[in-house]
Amino acid sequence: MRSAILKTALSALILVLLGSVPAQAASKPDTFPLPNGFQPEGIEIGPGPHAYFGSRATGDIYRADLRTGKGSVISKGPGTPSLGLKTDGRRLFVAGGNAGNARVVDLRTGRVLKSYQFATGTSFVNDVVLVGRAAYFTDSSNAVLYKLRLGRGGALPDGFDTIPLTGAIAYGTGINANGIAPSPDRRSLLIVQSNTGKLFEVNPSSGVTTEVNLGGDSLVNGDGLLLSGRTLYAVLNRDNTIAVVGLSRDGSSGKIVKRLTHPEFDIPTTVAAHGHRLYLPNARFSTTPTPDTPYDVVAVKR
């Protein structure tokens, strides 16, 4: 018995020394590249250890394996942006930026299942969240939410609802409503207003907004949001920081309890989680994009 145990241990040591450790035993990379010139913005993770990224340049959807950092384009874009992303496990809901639209992509085939033209004038469809049987999209240029009512089995609707945002929020110059997430009790939505640094609760039926009391804290440059329990992760893009906000159960108040950063951050925009890690794509807004500009993804511990 002892001989067999020693033989097994020796075999494992040889595998490590030869770099032949099985993929599941290898540590995940802390950073990994995206295609040159990709200009990433949105990220979504799952099912499994697979991350999806949208291109601001072409709208391509890129899928990477978090275990290796390697990936490929699974869906060619329409030549307009792909920004915020959310998956229901089989489909990817994609916010279309200044094209004023959204589309839903089959994760298995990369085929566009349905497209929605929300606006034809000035518009910036920035982010999306799935709550209950609906998908909600923010527009950073217009004080509205766009809603897709999902039918039985998640059936995609033919049309959409436009919900005016009223109450406390006031749109101004610059990027307004940006990232969106559910409140901890899932009775309302949370949106961050990038230019003012304010966080708002939104009644998803009426569109009435109330400002979340952050005790004087600000989320200026707030971009992507990620809710985990009663913890809200807010990416402050040009600050190269993640503000970690502890929220009340109903989401009406909160406080920044921690700030996370990393030396490899270069204007990250959005965030998704896998295990004990947060993953963020570097949008590099301050770098003039070319077809050869490198882009990457950075992982930090929660």
Tens of pLDDT, residue by residue over 47-80, are 999 999 999 999 999 999 999 999 999 999 999 9
pLDDT digits (tens, 9 = 90+) for 154-188: 999 999 999 999 999 999 999 999 999 999 999 99
3-state DSSP of 159-174: CCEEEECEECCCCCCC
**Residues 266, 201, 219, CA angle at the centre, nearest 5°?**
30
CA proximity to 46, closest of 64, 73, 21, 72: 64
Band of pLDDT at residue 27, cut at 50, 70 and 90: confident
Residues 274-284: tens digit of each pLDDT: 999 999 999 99
Tens digit of pLDDT for each residue in 227-242? 999 999 999 999 999 9
Q: State yes or no: pLDDT of 8 exceeds 50.
A: no
Q: Rg (Cα) of the chain, in Å, rounded?
A: 20
Q: What is the pLDDT of residue 26?
A: 56
Secondary structure letter of residue 2 according to DSSP: H
What confidence tier does 24 reach under pLDDT thresholds 50, 70, 90? Answer: very low
Please check whether residue 233 is in contact with residue 244, taking contact to mean a CB–CB distance below 8 angstroms. Answer: yes
Contacts of 140 (CB under 8 A, 6+ apart): 124, 126, 175, 176, 177, 178, 194
Distance CA 129, CA 268 (A): 19
Mean pLDDT of the region 177-201 = 97
Please measure the distance between the N-terminal and C-terminal CA atoms of the chain and give it in whole angstroms: 42
| Mean pLDDT for all residues in the chain | 92
Stretch 264-278: mean pLDDT, rounded?
97
Which residues are CB-neighbours of 9 under 8 A, at least 6 positions away? none
Q: Cα dist. 142→123, 162, 171, 233 in Å? A: 6, 11, 8, 24
- Say what the pLDDT of residue 259 is: 97
Q: What percentage of the chain reaches a pLDDT higher than 70?
A: 91
